[in-house]
Homo-oligomer: A and B are copies of this chain.
Amino acid sequence: MIKSPSVRKITLITTGGTIEKTYDEQTGELANRRSIVRRMLSELRLEDTEVTVRELMSKDSLEMTDGDRERIVAAVEEAAAEGAGACRGVVVLHGTDTLAETGERLLARIPHPRVPIVLTGAMRPFEMKSSDALQNLTEAIFAAGMLPPGVYCAAHGRVLAFPGVRKDVERGTFVKV
């Protein structure tokens, strides 16, 4: 007999970043205009997983203010709160340039989270052909469903735990310092 599956609930908070940049044919520019995470999710096959999307902001992370980061902390706290729909984990889509800064802030403000908080982004927009966007989103959702509580960055085949995650601009990835 096949057991009825237990559905894992993931909250996915979008903030913008390269991963969500879209191309404007009139101006020829890539920019953050709106979340495109639902298009990304439609290309994944997620079983027994319920993803709730919360579109928080749509910003290049180089332009994030201190207030923006506080809004992210508040949104993550709310999603991870005891009783918040029995959320199993939180994923945050974020620009790579200041992802580490937001991760350190989250850890400082939520030192004992109830669930894993997993940040991810991409070096190349999802709308481009050879993008790391879908791989990184896959890894972040996968990690949010299985890791112990904590603050993490998942990308490029690995998960790194905060504190001490940094962007390595030259290699185009994240590393532990």
Binding site for B on A (CB under 8 A): 1-3, 5, 8, 18, 21, 23, 25-26, 28-30, 43-49, 123-125, 127-130, 132, 134-135, 138-139, 141-143, 145-146, 154-159, 166, 168-169, 171-177
Chain B, Cβ-Cβ closest to A62: B28
Evaluate contact between B141 and A157: CB separation under 8 angstroms.
Answer: yes
- Complex Cα–Cα for A169 and B49 (A): 18
Evaluate contact between A157 and B47: CB separation under 8 angstroms.
Answer: yes
Given contacts A157-B44, A159-B146, contact A177 B1 (CB under 8 A): yes
- Complex Cα–Cα for A18 and B48 (A): 23
Given contacts A25-B124, A124-B23, A159-B146, contact A176 B3 (CB under 8 A): yes
Q: How many copies of this chain sit in the oligomeric assembly? A: 4
Given contacts A5-B175, A28-B30, contact A46 B142 (CB under 8 A): no
- Complex Cα–Cα for A122 and B158 (A): 22
Q: Which residues of B contact A155 (CB under 8 A)?
A: 47
Evaluate contact between A157 and B45: CB separation under 8 angstroms.
Answer: yes
Chain B, Cβ-Cβ closest to A39: B129
Identify 8 new A-B residue pairs, CB closer than 8 A, beyond the known A47-B158, A134-B135.
A1-B177, A3-B175, A25-B172, A47-B173, A48-B157, A138-B138, A139-B142, A143-B146
